[in-house]
Structure 1
Amino acid sequence: MLKSRGLYGLLLWGGLLSAAAALENDLPKGIPDEPFDIRAARLEYTNETIIASGGVTGRFENVVICADRITGNPETGDLHVEGDILFERGNVLWQGSELDYNFIKKEGLFGPSALYFEPAFMSVDHVERVSTNEYLLRGATFTTCPEGSPHIHARAKEARLVDGKYIKAKGVTFYVGKVPVMYVPYWRHKLREGIFTFKFGAGSEWGVYALTKATLPITENVDYITDVNLYSKRGVGIGQGFAWEYPEAVGEFAAFYLKDEDPHARFDSPEIGDDRYRFKFEHIQNFTDTHYLNTKWNYLSDPAVLEEFFKKEYRNNAQPENYASWVYGNSYVGSEVFVNKRLNDFYDNVDRAEYSADLYRTRLGNSPFYLQSENTLAQLERVYSETNAVFPNPYDSARIDSANTLYLPQRYGFLNLVPRASYRATYYSETDGALVPGGDELRQIPGAGIKASFHATKILSERERWYGKGLRHKIEPYADYIYEDSSISTNRLPQFDDIDELMDENKVQIGLRNVLQTRRDGRLARFIDLDIYTYYLVDKNGAEDDFEFLHIDARMPLTKRTMIDLEGAYDWYAGKIPDFNTRISHHRDEVVFSLEHFYEAGKRSLWTPRIDLFPRGDISIEAYGRYDDNNNDLEEVAVIAYKNFCCMRYGLGYHFYDDDEQRVMLSIGLSAFPE
């Protein structure tokens, strides 16, 4: 398909970014179905050769080329491009003066050129596209600095840009300004990941400190990670680790050691010595989408090392996890081998070795019945920290548990009815850990129930509003009768998890679900999904009131940028809220805001706000905090301001932790890698 038109008003350079912006503004977003489309001020077709000149723009499948002149054979796909060339494929931008390219084979020979592949600028002596997903670069310079004289750059004799994601290079020299600082014979790096990070500061607990981290590749798939942390009050901490990423596997190993010069600066505990260390191992191995191995192990020198030196990890998980999980399943069954083992004796834990095999709800042949089955075989041991003031006796038991439910879905006009019958049996080899200990026990729980529900919908609006286009309301009332009769009370069983807490049930769940739907970007989207329910107690089983708490569970993506999540309960007899969790988030280019509130009556009321102002700007600010208003405890406050100068990003911040620990910090890194 050949077309001719007037000269584009496209300015090909004030820099690669301005050229890219002009290209984006002047060209249609879509790629036509024809294999190529050329537009130019002058267009000729002679002897099976196309000659285009004067503001030429050519589209060749998923490649767009702007140049002064293009000549080529549409049958063979060979193109010769000259003069002020801008080559775009996906998010790759290349600029040069001469190019030979075959749009059918997707191969080409590029001369001296400038290449932009976010976030890296590349100056290359010779470029050759050797396959659909790989470029060969000779004499390449890499930097994230847009200036002509970069602050930091790397020079490689030969490099390959693969999949638009990472660079493989040989003979690489790193420069600060014009001074070479390091040479590596081989380098593999993801374009969107940083190499070095530096943080400096002063704190009441660490004193003056400097934290440095370097990530360098060993092979195409394995990175070598080194941390050197200097603390004027505590000494020198050394971290060494490895991270690996393969198509089917990802993981890391991290080790840290510090000869602590003041081990009791914060905690005066006999568990803490001057040898402070941690070891961490994580690995995920994917065999198929439903067959994988996931494992995580942590070993610590003492219970305070994470809180003192890895506060972010400690906030996320005060007691580190130690487990291995091997999962296999398909659309009908799922199975898991799960091992959890405490490695440090200063934590409470339930050590377990467990195998589970589940049959998902499945139709039995051509019958109207459906069966669901959940089965576990486990060896369990409850262990306690040796630092507890009162040291309870550990206890253990083998446990076999099988829960089976038979369903008979029915529909009567608008009404859905799902009667069910269930039977659960749980065997314990030992009950020494029970309040009323004995020998082995077999608990049986026969059960029955029926769920009734229907739904109705109504179009409330077809107009486009701030939440989307159109609004549809779906309402679903439901009632679920639950009856279970346990043969043994919980005080005769050892307590390991929620399976051991099961007891008699005779109640009705009554609920109402409301869903508001709209359309966003041409797709059906939920505007509000709200579920409110309670339980009516047919048999109170020791309870005082006829109804349990009123529960609410809501997920509300009010817009594409604003999300509200609610989950909690209301005690309508006492007029109190026993627990409630709230999360609000809003994302825009100029501001990212979130607020979380975790409330548990009489224990915690934790507020966690966070705001990022102008996260992509030359000046940006981050602020967050943690405040427990139940205990009037300000747990954490941080304010950090960042300023970008060319390719460098400088940060200055203040951090306050509970127990009056304070830090002032300065960070230096590349602006392309703000993390």
Structure 2
Amino acid sequence: MSDPLKSIAILLLLVLVGMSPAAGWAQSSASPALPQPGVPLSVGRKPPPAPAPQAPRRPAAAQPPATARPAQRPAVAPVAPAAASAPASAARLPVGGAPQKVVAPRAAAPTVTAATGGGNLIDVQAEDLSYDAERRLVIARGGVKVTRGTDSVAADYAEVDTAQEQVYARGNIFIRYMGGTWQGQEATYNFKTGAGNFGAFHAYSAPYHVTAEGSTRESPRLMKLEQVMFTTCEPERPEYSLRAKSASIEDNNIVRAKHVRFHFGPVPFFWVPYMRANLEELAKFEFTPGWSSAMGPFLLTTYNQPINDIFKTRTHVDIRQKRGLGVGEDLVWKDPVAGDYQGEAGVYYANDRKPWKDAEERTIREELIDNDRCWLKLSDRHNLTDRDYLITKLNYVSDPWLLSDFFDDEYQKNVQPENRVTLTHRGDHYSAGVGLNTRLNDFYGNVNRLPEVFLNFNRQKILDTPFYYEGENTFSYLDRVFPDGAPEEHYDAFRLDTAHMVYWPTRHFGFLSVIPRAGYRGTYYSKTRHISTVTNVIAITNDLGEVIGTTNEVETLLRDGSAVWRSLPELGVESSFQAFGNLYEGPTGIEEDEDLRHIVEPYANYTYRPEPNVLPEELWQFDAVDRLSLRNDLKLGVRNYLQTRRARSVHDLLFADVFTTLLFEPDDDEQTLGDIGFKAEVRPYSWLSLDVDGTYDTQDGNFRVFSTQAEVKNRDLFIFGLDYRYARDARDKLAGDLVIFPEARWAGRLYARMDLDESELEEHSYYLIHRTRCLGIGLGLRVRPDDGPDGEDNYTVWFRIWPLAFPQFGSSLGG
């Protein structure tokens, strides 16, 4: 047959196929997030080599139909493939349309294009094309590429049934579909029903590789897998993997698996009968084995289980040889879209066989502790609207030492866990809300606020005047409670505190800022503190019980007084100005900085507040509001900035603030010159930072408080931090932290903390990390001198292993 006749025959075939009901390919609406069998390969990743070709097994969908043919289906003549020397081009035929002119392009593979019942076009290119009239199939051999829109199938062989919207392919299959890729040796898929049989495959959906020996897609929402493996390693020789006898993937991301085995290399080490997980955040185990002087050998395990996009659970099972079993459950939630809410609730129980380490500790703990120890917690932040938010933090512990014994990280953050609920509304010029604060354990002291209502006004202009107003108002029921057994007695009171201030900002001589202010603070107390003394006559007796004399004993009694209103008017003025000079123009030689400028800002703040009608000693003391009294002082200070231009923005090389207070009416134990305070922040290089702050007591010539934090880092080599904190009569401690080669395959961390008052090393720890191709392995040692049983050193050794795809699991120092 001549080439024109061949082209006309192909066009007639396409017209008849286009008239066939439900002809063509239907596009699936499945999310591309689903790793289709063997998909999706990451961008830039070379497809792994295809497995060796197997003897093809034609799926049932490709067999000649056993049932009656569809009624009214028009007969279609077979299509003879065009000669390779003069291939036919694709004739694009919308349903019911006329064929376009046939053009024979050079060096093109034979191509046919069919329109589906929905008007979509399918292009089939191959070295050899034919039509099987009996089975109503377009058959393609050699370099096959079937394309529909942006989706395509490449294979050695394919059979396309445009009537049933089904394709069968085998041999070096590579499919691009919905933005993903799939590769294997044999597959069949029906785009109308979403069903298909994909056989063995390999898929990648960051960060997971998925392989299976068999796979069947039963619907657009459900895929069944056999002998499946999940890993974040390269699948040929994974260092760890999760393997299951069978699994299913639902809604593109929910995995359900049976008989799940956890492997290190080829060796299984853990088994669960069933697992449900989100493919985007696959359920993960955390294991921390180790040994401690106080705990003995231990194994801490955590199982992270996503429930949906919002909720996930963390299940804890901890075994400590000397202490016993600990179990816990956390429910964690977070708004995945806007971040309007996040929080967690948890419960932890430990059956502690040895709640004290020695006889001395037993004497301290015995009355408050037993073998059953627990912690209940709730933490939540919720943005109810753009202007309203609710913060909740509740903690109940069975005894004061549970956190220090089992959750040292939490204990270091907050020695006494807090319990509060706060609802806040933010207006344009004000904020209002209500808060609750109470203790849930009688062995802690606290100022309970049940409730505390507040209404605060931001500093704002008063109409069209030059004045500004600022205000704070609180109403509280305050209850000062002490730990059970303490000698102090509890007391309480209602308190209404309202403070108002008016400011008048002015500028003089073009540079001097002067801001006079006047205000009033009034506070109502439902009770006051009344002090009285009583002299008691005490009889003195001898050994026989005979009275031989008397003596007087003076006793101080505290009781509630009547309600009172305390008035505190206040006057003041604040002044400051800035002067600056350009020290240098051009490159400074420090990194890529340009120009150098110095700014100096002297400031002064005078405050006068007369002695109130109610003195602090006449009030029950709850917080700083109750300590307010006479004030007549002038705060003087100067701020200095040394600035440069770095990365096109102003950068402070140095910020320093030094200040003091002159007391014009000092108390008997005070001097006119008050304490000198200072604060400095130094950032000369991107790899160096230094912060210093403190207060110097001019009366006795010593520091009241002093702290400094320094950090030197080279991201490739090391990060070194130093932290020194001093508080007179409280603490004098130095801590250092060194991380070596933080991003390398081998990394190390050293930490030490020392009590300088006692010249004792409180803690030193060492952590070694090795990163393989896809796993992180950590080994740690922590030593706390004299903290173990019988006053011995307390040693803790722990081991961590985690997928590098989830670095957060390697951050904890464990037990």
One fold, TM greater than 0.5? yes
1:199/1:665 contact within 8 Å kept? no
- Superposition pairs for residues 121-520 of structure 1, below 5 Å? 121=209, 142-146=230-234, 148-154=236-242, 157-158=248-249, 168-171=254-257, 175-176=262-263, 177=265, 181-182=271-272, 184=274, 186-188=276-278, 195-246=284-335, 247-265=339-357, 267-268=361-362, 269=365, 270-352=367-449, 353-388=451-486, 391-412=487-508, 413-432=510-529, 438-461=561-584, 462-466=586-590, 468-470=592-594, 471-487=596-612, 488-520=614-646
- Residues 1:199 and 1:338: Cα distance change in structure 2 (over 3 Å): same
- Superposition pairs for residues 48-87 of structure 1, below 5 Å? none
- Residues 1:144 and 1:465: Cα distance change in structure 2 (over 3 Å): farther
How far off its partner does 1:98 sit? 5.3
Out of 710, 723, 726, the position equivalent to 1:599 is 726
Please tell me the residue identity of whatever aligns with 1:526.
D
The DSSP-based 3-state class of the residue aligned with 2:403 is helix
Out of 752, 764, 774, the position equivalent to 1:647 is 774
Out of 780, 802, 808, the position equivalent to 1:670 is 802
2:345/2:377 contact within 8 Å kept? yes
1:562/1:586 contact within 8 Å kept? yes
How far off its partner does 1:315 sit? 1.4
Please tell me the residue identity of whatever aligns with 1:245.
K
Distance 1:517 1:97 in 2: 62
Q: Does 1:581 align with 2:707?
A: yes
Please tell me the residue identity of whatever aligns with 2:409.
K
Further displaced range: 652-661 or 605-614: 652-661
How far off its partner does 1:175 sit? 4.2
The DSSP-based 3-state class of the residue aligned with 1:313 is helix
Distance 1:297 1:384 in 2: 19
1:357/1:375 contact within 8 Å kept? yes
The DSSP-based 3-state class of the residue aligned with 2:286 is strand
How far off its partner does 1:20 sit? 7.6
How far off its partner does 1:447 sit? 0.6
Q: Does 1:636 align with 2:763?
A: yes
1:433/1:495 contact within 8 Å kept? no
Please tell me the residue identity of whatever aligns with 1:250.
Q
2:211/2:235 contact within 8 Å kept? no
Higher strand share: 1
Please tell me the residue identity of whatever aligns with 1:181.
W
1:186-238: CA deviation from partner (whole Å, max 9, x where unpaired): 412665x9822212222221112111111112233211211111111111111
- Residues 1:195 and 1:185: Cα distance change in structure 2 (over 3 Å): closer
Out of 148, 169, 182, the position equivalent to 1:111 is 182
1:467/1:559 contact within 8 Å kept? yes
1:147-177: CA deviation from partner (whole Å, max 9, x where unpaired): 622133347643778xxxxx64455856425
1:598-637: CA deviation from partner (whole Å, max 9, x where unpaired): 1012321111221222223222212222212123343222
Distance 1:190 1:535 in 2: 59
Distance 2:742 2:803 in 1: 11
1:640/1:654 contact within 8 Å kept? yes
Aligned residue in 2 for 1:621: 748
How far off its partner does 1:79 sit? 8.4
Two-structure CA RMSD over aligned residues (Å): 3.6
Distance 2:213 2:472 in 1: 63
Distance 1:566 1:124 in 2: 59
Distance 1:214 1:433 in 2: 58
Please tell me the residue identity of whatever aligns with 1:151.
E
- Residues 1:115 and 1:501: Cα distance change in structure 2 (over 3 Å): farther
Bigger Rg, structure 1 or 2: 2
Q: Does 1:523 align with 2:611?
A: no
1:99/1:108 contact within 8 Å kept? no
What TM-score results when the alignment is normalised by the length of structure 2?
0.65
What TM-score results when the alignment is normalised by the length of structure 1?
0.78
1:421-456: CA deviation from partner (whole Å, max 9, x where unpaired): 011001110124877952112111101111111112
1:383-427: CA deviation from partner (whole Å, max 9, x where unpaired): 000143xx2100000000011110000011111111100110011
Please tell me the residue identity of whatever aligns with 1:593.
F
Distance 2:43 2:588 in 1: 35
Please tell me the residue identity of whatever aligns with 2:500.
N
Q: Which runs of 5+ in 1 are unaligned?
A: 1-15, 22-45, 52-68, 84-95, 102-106, 127-134, 162-166
How far off its partner does 1:467 sit? 5.3
Please tell me the residue identity of whatever aligns with 1:667.
F
How far off its partner does 1:306 sit? 1.1
Q: Report how many residues are paired.
A: 583
1:467/1:518 contact within 8 Å kept? no
- Residues 1:121 and 1:473: Cα distance change in structure 2 (over 3 Å): farther
Distance 1:124 1:527 in 2: 58
Distance 1:316 1:224 in 2: 23
Please tell me the residue identity of whatever aligns with 2:181.
F
How far off its partner does 1:307 sit? 1.2
- Residues 1:620 and 1:403: Cα distance change in structure 2 (over 3 Å): same
- Residues 1:100 and 1:227: Cα distance change in structure 2 (over 3 Å): closer
Please tell me the residue identity of whatever aligns with 2:750.
A
Distance 2:579 2:779 in 1: 56
Distance 1:187 1:542 in 2: 70
Distance 2:795 2:781 in 1: 6
1:458-500: CA deviation from partner (whole Å, max 9, x where unpaired): 2333315335522322211111111112412210111111111
Further displaced range: 321-330 or 141-150: 141-150
1:467/1:527 contact within 8 Å kept? no
How far off its partner does 1:80 sit? 7.0
Distance 2:709 2:205 in 1: 36
The DSSP-based 3-state class of the residue aligned with 2:561 is coil
How far off its partner does 1:333 sit? 0.7
Further displaced range: 587-596 or 363-372: 587-596
2:209/2:235 contact within 8 Å kept? no
Q: Which runs of 5+ in 2 are unaligned?
A: 1-40, 47-89, 93-105, 107-142, 156-171, 184-200, 215-220, 532-557, 789-793
Distance 2:591 2:694 in 1: 25
The DSSP-based 3-state class of the residue aligned with 2:435 is strand
The DSSP-based 3-state class of the residue aligned with 1:558 is strand
The DSSP-based 3-state class of the residue aligned with 2:651 is strand
